[in-house]
A = this chain, B = another copy of it.
Amino acid sequence: MTSPAARLLAPRSVVVIGASDRSRWSQGAVDNLRGGGFAGPTHLVNPRGGIVHGQTAATSCAGLGEPADLGIILVPGHATVSAIEDLAACGSRSAVILTSGFAELGVDGKAAQDAVTAAARAHGIRLLGPNSLGFLNFVTPALVWTTPIQRPSRPDGVAIISQSGATAFFLTNLAAQWDVGLSYVVATGNEADLGSTDFARALVDDPATRAIALFIETVRDPTGFLAVATAASAAGKPVVVLKTGKSEVSAKAALAHTGALVGNDRVFDAVCRQYGVIRTRSIEELLATADLASRTGRLRPGGLAVISNSGGICEIAADSAESYGIAMPQLTDSAARAVQQTIPGFATAHNPLDLTGGITPEQCRAVVDIMAAQPEFAALLCPYYEVPTQETDRSERLTALHDALANGLRAAPIPGFVVSYTATYLSALSRRLVAETGMPYLACGLDRAITALGHVFAWSAALDHKQPPRRQPIALEMARPRSESGALALLARYGAPTVPSVLATTADAAVAAAGSMEGPVVLKIASPDIAHKSDIGGVALRVSGEAAVREAFERVHQAGLSVAGASIEGVLVAPMRPPGLELFVGVSRDAQWGAVLAVGLGGIFVEVLQDVSLRLLPVDADEVRRMLSELRGAALLAGSRGTKPADRDATARAVAAIGTAALTCGPALAALDVNPLWVDGSHVEALDALCIWNEETPSCAPT
């Protein structure tokens, strides 16, 4: 780890600037450094010098006489710039600004923050904050935090990165309550310099970090976010995110809170799906998922096995597994027989397996071995007595059963856990019992555990889905088609299948074009100024024969001429396609994420149900196939209602080509609609297309 973010998190020496016995923040920071086992020197700076927190304080960093890796800045806002300048004097390359009152307050605060950032940049100092609560490095201990902190019992596993300091604190407390191992906690605050994606990227490379839990209000650096996701996928390391800003109300609160824009939530959902980021909906779900994922890593293909001592819990587990999309394969006959032979008199063995209350520890262990050995299973969950929280909950029988379970699960070839029935906490006793038996234990409760497993199963299955690299578009001096024919030609140039069409400027030309096509034709007015051609009578369908074509040309052409100010290019003649499946394919530009591809089934699916699948461009045909399978109306692709089954490969290739065409246009293209993309078996064609351009954007600007 040698990135600026990694260097900031692992200082060999620190200096607290603004140290004062009268400040509980200062006292708290020094207490955490000392009590948290920080191995290097902790220098203190106070303008008046003297003894602070029991040690001699320097009057400035310049006066320290030795270098300090990291400055911890506690001075008031107005003194922050000079603190940075002073810090440079002792060779620091990193600073944590715990002071608040900057961009989160509005325009004036933003100006003050910009001054701090400029000073830091001038001196080559990278920043965490301002308005940060600090960070916790449990691996090479450095607890840079001002309030009392519960340290995890294991200094590895989950790294927490949060734009909200309070939420970082709540997550750390919950991790202590559930005994979740933590490597780092970073509260990124206003992210004036280093942001959550910088720290996430650094921790992807950290061996003690096996999963990253991100709480974000806004993605300030979309490119960095995608880089984190891509690197994490390559490393097989899960990134789990809780992102707010879904509701309008929430978007307002985020604005008040961080002063940042909140992006379109549906696009963010699509980004997560596309780039293998696990998105969760609550603090508990975030931590339970990151914890579980940090302990399982990627799951092999297969389903979930459940062993419990309660039939009711078995049923709840099965229902929840179904809700979260987890397969629970049935036991094979031989496995069921093996269970029955292990427990004489046992009724039928199912998955989930209700062992009831009466078995021996030896039987319990044997059953775990049998279940864990089945190739159908990828993970094993045992809601099977909770770990006692107090002495009175203990019994010899329970201890023996938990020992048997712990030994069985540790020896199992697949990840397995004992899980509390409901969300609970680990007391000092529980923590000791878990440590002594080495039991893989989840205290988040069955419901959160199954939710988490659902995420981890889906993440594991999608880890091989690769995305094409995102590139700057080539600076093409291209024409910007405004008409249907131009848009179709643009698509065709990038390999998208389009309906063959001829632009006719005379009735004779239209007749000739129609004559060259098989079957009836369609005639449409061609004008960059007429978007809704049908509304003005500019479309003639199912036209056959010379006289009819001639008549239709005149009618459609006249309709176009009657639109005041419209420039008329002619009349487009194309073969009339028989009824087929109609898709909608659209590309639009998200202010934050760039070009977004939307695919849906035509008609009510898009108009009434908003049933579209979204992705960032570029996509390849494999990704488009996944988009198609996500649609609620996906069954229609199999060919219900008298249409042929759609050739999904041909359809996906066509959609991907449309995406390529749109992307190549660069940011000058505001939107591209293909409506419909007509699909008749493996015959796929864009029948109509529309491009909308940003006039002021040069065509070679970055996407």
Chain A positions near chain B (C-beta within 8 angstroms): 105-106, 148, 162-164, 166-167, 170, 173-174, 177, 215, 217, 242, 244-247, 249-250, 252-254, 256-258, 281-285, 309-316, 318-323, 328, 330, 347-348, 350-352, 354, 357, 392, 421-425, 445-447, 603-604, 607-609, 632-633, 635-636, 640-641
Contacts and interface: CB of A to CB of B under 8 A. Distances in A.
A690 to B, nearest CB: 20
A173 B422 CA distance: 9
Contacts of A446: 282-283
30 contacts: A106-B347, A148-B392, A162-B312, A166-B310, A166-B311, A167-B316, A170-B310, A174-B422, A217-B312, A217-B315, A244-B315, A246-B319, A249-B318, A249-B321, A249-B322, A249-B328, A249-B351, A250-B315, A250-B322, A253-B311, A253-B315, A253-B318, A257-B312, A283-B316, A284-B422, A285-B447, A425-B425, A607-B641, A608-B636, A609-B633
Contacts of A249: 318, 321-322, 328, 330, 350-352
A166 B318 contact: no
A280 to B, nearest CB: 10
Contacts of A633: 604, 608-609
B315 A257 contact: yes
Contacts of A323: 246, 281
A447 B162 CA distance: 18
A316 B604 contact: no
Nearest to A323: B281
A48 to B, nearest CB: 26
Given A164-B311, A314-B257, A347-B256, A319 B641 contact: no
Contacts of A167: 310, 312-313, 316
Contact of A256 (B162, B258, B311): B311
A580 to B, nearest CB: 15
Contacts of A314: 250, 253, 257
Contacts of A318: 244, 247, 249-250, 253
A257 B357 CA distance: 13
A252 B319 CA distance: 11
A311 B258 contact: yes
A632 B609 contact: yes
A425 B424 contact: yes
Contacts of A424: 177, 425
Nearest to A252: B350
The 6 closest A-B pairs by CB, nearest first: A164-B312, A257-B311, A250-B318, A244-B315, A166-B310, A247-B322
A247 B319 contact: yes
Contacts of A357: 166
A447 B425 CA distance: 17
A609 B631 CA distance: 11
A328 B250 CA distance: 10
B423 A244 contact: no
Nearest to A358: B100
Contact of A247 (B174, B257, B321, B392): B321
Contacts of A607: 640-641
A284 B421 CA distance: 10
Nearest to A170: B421
A253 B604 contact: no
B322 A246 contact: yes
Most chain B beta carbons < 10 A, residue from A249, A257, A313, A609 = A249
Contacts of A285: 447
A315 B245 contact: yes
A162 B421 CA distance: 15
A609 B640 CA distance: 12
A69 to B, nearest CB: 29
A216 to B, nearest CB: 10
B640 A608 contact: yes
A242 to B, nearest CB: 7
A284 B312 CA distance: 14
Contacts of A252: 350
Contacts of A281: 319-320, 323, 447
Contacts of A173: 422
Nearest to A450: B282
Given A245-B315, A250-B318, A313-B167, A256 B348 contact: yes
A25 B228 CA distance: 57
Contacts of A608: 633, 635-636, 640
B319 A244 contact: yes
A152 to B, nearest CB: 16
Given A284-B422, A328-B249, A351-B249, A604 B641 contact: yes
A252 B347 CA distance: 13
A142 B403 CA distance: 36
A320 B633 CA distance: 27
A253 B148 contact: no
A145 to B, nearest CB: 15
A576 B368 CA distance: 67
Given A148-B392, A244-B312, A310-B164, A250 B319 contact: yes
Nearest to A244: B315
Contacts of A309: 166
Contacts of A609: 609, 632-633
Nearest to A167: B312
A254 B347 contact: no
Contacts of A310: 164, 166-167, 170
Contacts of A246: 319, 322-323
Contacts of A422: 170, 173-174, 177, 283-284
Nearest to A353: B253
Given A166-B313, A244-B318, A283-B447, 10 more contacts: A166-B312, A170-B422, A174-B422, A247-B321, A249-B321, A250-B314, A283-B445, A283-B446, A284-B422, A285-B447
